[in-house]
Amino acid sequence: MQIQQNISLKPYNTFGIDATAKYFARFTSVDEIEQLFDSPFLKENEHPFIIGGGSNILLTLDYSGLVAKNEMHGIEVIKHDEKYVYVRVAAGENWHQFVLYCIDNNFAGVENLSLIPGSVGASPMQNIGAYGVEIKDVFYELEAFDINERQVSTFTVQECEFGYRESIFKRKYKGRHIITSVTFRLNKQPAFNISYGAIQQELDKMHIEELSIAAISRAVINIRQSKLPDPKEIGNAGSFFKNPTIPQSQFVSLKKEFPAIVGHPANNGVKVAAGWLIEQCGWKGYRKGDAGCHAKQALVLVNYGDAKGSEILALSTEIMKSVELKFGIMLEREVNIL
């Protein structure tokens, strides 16, 4: 395993931020992960900063330590039963390519999660979700390298403690584990989920006569491409903020003042559309220098060229302040800040 010095991280984050890592390495196996922790470039008790697809991070500073990119690859069907097929996927695999693999093999369950950027290893960390489906719905188990114990541990769905864009790896165990593989339990017979958002409308536009997971995937891709900027063209990390959940009583009060407010029932209240809140505060399409709020989707902050991470972070702070002032709701960033 080669360790490089003074490497630009611009190619390794979808925001396209030009931060520098003092040391940079790639790992493809658990053995190489163990080698990282024996590196002479690490200070005592220091851990490497692990990146995958770089689709959920905002780099605001150069990194003075070791950045390590997960490049573990491989997809393997490990078992079947009457209803399900179990597929183990190495953490460094591209998420969307894995979805396409499932569609090609008629493994159902992840088609609604098409075109989400990032790697497979990142998917359970924040319980990624879209169009009525979350990782927890198809998750079986994962393996992760325990930094403290220097060994690989297995986590079940219950042990991951999944929540809305949350898992135990973002809270109690933040920074302690490096996910090495994820095993998914996928359906042999699809249970189509087309009730969320505009999927049915898109299927109608596509003149789909016989529903399939491939058709749903194509519809989701079409919708995402129409609403969200391609990181290869405009730097971004997808949704920058979580949709906040507020008490029912607060939503009722806001509904009286703002009749058009968008909200959906949640387990412990009402989940409000953060994009709508941001748009009502006048941020949609806003741009200052190369940092901005996307013209089609206010939930997406963008780098139009050479924005610094600190500029995008400052913009997000201003957005959060304005939403709190207008609606009394504190937004929470979904993107990890470094």
Rg (CA), the chain: 20
**Among this protein's residues, is 26 annotated catalytic?**
no
* Residue in 88, 141, 143, 165 annotated catalytic: 165
d(CA 326, CA 328): 6
SS3 275: helix
- Three-state secondary structure string covering 308-338: CHHHHHHHHHHHHHHHHHHHCCCCCECCEEC
> What is each CA distance from 305 to 17, 231, 242, 292, in whole angstroms?
9, 11, 25, 10
Residue in 232, 242, 140, 235 with CA at minimum distance from that of residue 185: 140
In our burial notation (b when 16+ CB lie closer than 10 A, e otherwise), range 274-297 reads: bbbbbbbbebbebeeebbbbbeeb
**Among this protein's residues, is 239 annotated catalytic?**
yes
* Residue in 239, 311, 316, 333 annotated catalytic: 239
SS3 274: helix
SS3 236: strand
SS3 239: strand
**Among this protein's residues, is 202 annotated catalytic?**
no
So which residues are the catalytic ones?
A: 165, 239, 334
